[in-house]
């Protein structure tokens, strides 16, 4: 398993800063006590602390060149106490900048601890970029704002998610649901309808064995999910209902529902 990304290390670093800036802009005039519909156990303030804490944790691993799990004190991960929006915004900005600085200094190939088979700093550049993309979707929904992602970033975000879903650890954790999902004649085709051919924004999820195998191709499947790339990404990450009028589901809708239930960490 390579978990290979399609963007350069510098592009991930640039995009991580851009995503952090856009995420922060959504919070500035929002009610930080509002519940996040797609993460109902969290308020917007909780979401912000989760994102900022993730940035700092990954940044610390890379900056310290740690090859073992790093545990940080809770106050480092949760940021300023209370509901001071300006203090939280400054904390988020500082954490993102420190993390990107550590990633740029390290480059993509320094050996560091990750929770994946890829023990390299580049894993964190890609993972933190996409982590911030998806939680920006949460913040946009909560704030009633629009959400768009550069198409190459959205395609790589979706590709990374499928790569992660193919890791044995997910199959082990979700074994009870696997029998309902995997089996002969089961497959899902994801088809972005608003992208240029060069992006190859189509995925075939082969579920006929006992583990996910996927490839970038146009291929007939048991179930098809069609729509704009950003909306396909949101559905796959369960940030947009599959019955939304922004996407179209063809074939066995139940198979898609079973996939969405299984493909979660």
Q: pLDDT band at residue 179, thresholds of 50, 70 and 90? A: confident
Q: How many Cβ atoms are within 10 Å of 125's Cβ, its own excluded?
A: 30
Residue 109, SS3? coil
Instruction: Answer whether 187's CB lies under 8 Å from 206's CB.
Output: yes
In terms of domains, do 29 and 122 share one? yes
Last residue in a domain, options 117, 147, 177: 147
- Look at residue 1 and tell me if it is in a domain: no
Last residue in a domain, options 112, 130, 147: 147
pTM, full prediction? 0.95
pLDDT given for residue 233 in this prediction? 98
Rg for the chain, CA atoms, rounded: 19
How far is 258 from 249, CA to CA, in rounded Å? 14
pLDDT given for residue 84 in this prediction? 81
- Look at residue 121 and tell me if it is in a domain: yes
In terms of domains, do 20 and 110 share one? yes
Instruction: State pLDDT tens for residues 121-175.
Output: 999 999 999 999 999 999 999 999 999 999 999 999 999 999 999 998 777 777 7
Q: pLDDT band at residue 1, thresholds of 50, 70 and 90? A: low
In terms of domains, do 78 and 50 share one? yes
pLDDT given for residue 75 in this prediction? 63
Q: Tally the residues of the chain.
A: 265
Q: What angle do CA 207, 213, 214 make, to 5 degrees?
A: 105
In terms of domains, do 15 and 138 share one? yes
Instruction: State pLDDT tens for residues 8-17.
Output: 999 999 999 9
Residue 43, SS3? strand
Last residue in a domain, options 147, 175, 207: 147
- Look at residue 215 and tell me if it is in a domain: yes
How far is 126 from 122, CA to CA, in rounded Å? 6
In terms of domains, do 251 and 135 share one? no
How far is 55 from 65, CA to CA, in rounded Å? 15
* 179 Cα distance to chain centroid: 26
In terms of domains, do 137 and 15 share one? yes
- Look at residue 4 and tell me if it is in a domain: no
- The mean pLDDT value of the chain amounts to 94
In terms of domains, do 178 and 251 share one? yes
pLDDT given for residue 4 in this prediction? 85
Burial (CB count <10 Å: 0-12, 13-18, 19+), residue 199: middle
Residue 38, SS3? coil
Instruction: State pLDDT tens for residues 20-52.
Output: 999 999 999 899 999 999 999 999 999 999 999
In terms of domains, do 111 and 127 share one? yes
Count of structural domains, the chain: 2
In terms of domains, do 108 and 202 share one? no
How far is 71 from 195, CA to CA, in rounded Å? 41
Q: From residue 44, give the alpha-carbon distance in Å to each of 47, 58, 67, 265.
A: 5, 21, 33, 21
Q: pLDDT band at residue 206, thresholds of 50, 70 and 90? A: very high
- Look at residue 2 and tell me if it is in a domain: no
In terms of domains, do 233 and 130 share one? no
Say what percent of the chain tops pLDDT 70: 99
How far is 56 from 50, CA to CA, in rounded Å? 10
Per the structure, the complete domain to which residue 114 belongs is given by: 9-147
pLDDT given for residue 72 in this prediction? 79
pLDDT given for residue 174 in this prediction? 75
pLDDT given for residue 178 in this prediction? 86
106-107-110-112 Cα dihedral, nearest 10 degrees: 70
Instruction: State pLDDT tens for residues 71-83.
Output: 877 767 788 887 7
In terms of domains, do 203 and 115 share one? no
- Look at residue 38 and tell me if it is in a domain: yes
- Look at residue 102 and tell me if it is in a domain: yes
CATH code assigned at 19: 1.20.120.450
Instruction: State pLDDT tens for residues 76-117.
Output: 778 888 778 899 999 999 999 999 999 999 999 999 999 999
Instruction: State pLDDT tens for residues 229-265.
Output: 999 999 999 999 999 999 999 999 999 999 999 998 7
In terms of domains, do 51 and 136 share one? yes
């Amino acid at each position: 398993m390579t978990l290979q990304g399609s963007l350069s290390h510098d592009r991930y670093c640039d995009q991580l800063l851009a995503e952090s800036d856009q995420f922060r802009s959504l919070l500035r005039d929002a009610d930080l006590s509002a519940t996040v519909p797609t993460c109902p156990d969290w308020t917007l303030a909780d979401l912000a602390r989760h994102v900022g804490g993730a940035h700092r944790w990954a940044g610390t691993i890379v900056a310290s060149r740690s090859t073992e799990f790093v545990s940080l004190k809770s106050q480092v991960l949760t940021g300023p106490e209370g509901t001071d929006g300006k203090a939280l915004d400054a904390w988020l900005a500082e954490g993102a900048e420190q993390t990107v600085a550590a990633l740029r200094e390290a480059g993509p190939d320094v050996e560091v601890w990750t929770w994946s088979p890829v023990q390299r700093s580049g894993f964190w550049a890609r993972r933190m970029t996409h982590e911030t993309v998806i939680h920006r979707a949460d913040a946009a929904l909560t704030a009633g704002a629009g959400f768009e992602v550069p198409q190459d970033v959205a395609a790589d975000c979706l590709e990374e998610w499928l790569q992660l879903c193919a890791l044995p650890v997910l199959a082990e954790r979700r074994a009870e649901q696997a029998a309902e999902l995997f089996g002969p004649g089961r497959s899902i085709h994801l088809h972005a309808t608003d992208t240029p051919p060069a992006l190859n924004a189509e995925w075939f999820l082969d579920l006929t064995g006992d583990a996910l195998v996927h490839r970038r191709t146009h291929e007939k499947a048991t179930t098809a999910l069609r729509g704009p790339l950003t909306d396909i990404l949101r559905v796959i990450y369960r940030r947009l209902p599959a019955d939304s009028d922004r996407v179209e589901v063809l074939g066995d809708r139940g198979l898609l529902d079973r996939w969405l239930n299984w493909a979660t960490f």
